[in-house]
Amino acid sequence: MRNADHRITTALQQDAPPAGDPAFRLQVLERRERQRFRRHALISMAAAVITAIVMVVLAVSGGRMYTAGSVVLFAVVLLTASAYLPVFGRLIRRFSL
């Protein structure tokens, strides 16, 4: 049994990646940035589309839906800003503002 354990452990250790692997860390960071960029792009695009729709509706209604339109636009701005909050937080921490 001990010999089998030893063989398994040795085989797994021989297949192990190096202890320090900057290339792997860079791949993780690159993937994280790509994911973040995609999320921000999606949110910005959705905000732009909703804003455009609200503007069109406001223009067509001749200002009758001004209050509802303003509320929707305000919500869009809030949601978009909340998506970027972590970025602002990091910037503030980095520059100790």
List of residues 6+ apart from 76 with CB closer than 8 A: 47, 50, 51, 54
Q: Site for other proteins (CB under 8 A): which residue of 60, 93, 95, 97?
A: 93
Residue 74 near residue 50, CB atoms below 8 Å: no
- From the list 46, 32, 50, the residue with the least C-alpha distance to 86 is 32
| Torsion angle in degrees (nearest 10) through CA of 44, 37, 87, 32 | 150
Q: Which is nearer to other proteins, 68 or 86 (CB)?
A: 86
Q: Which of residues 14-53 bind other proteins (CB under 8 A)?
A: 14-21, 24-25, 27-29, 31-32, 35
Nearer to other proteins, 44 or 86 (CB): 86
Span near other proteins by CB under 8 A; candidates 40-48, 63-71, 73-81, 83-91: 83-91
Footprint of other proteins (CB under 8 A):
1, 3-5, 7-21, 24-25, 27-29, 31-32, 35, 86, 89-90, 93
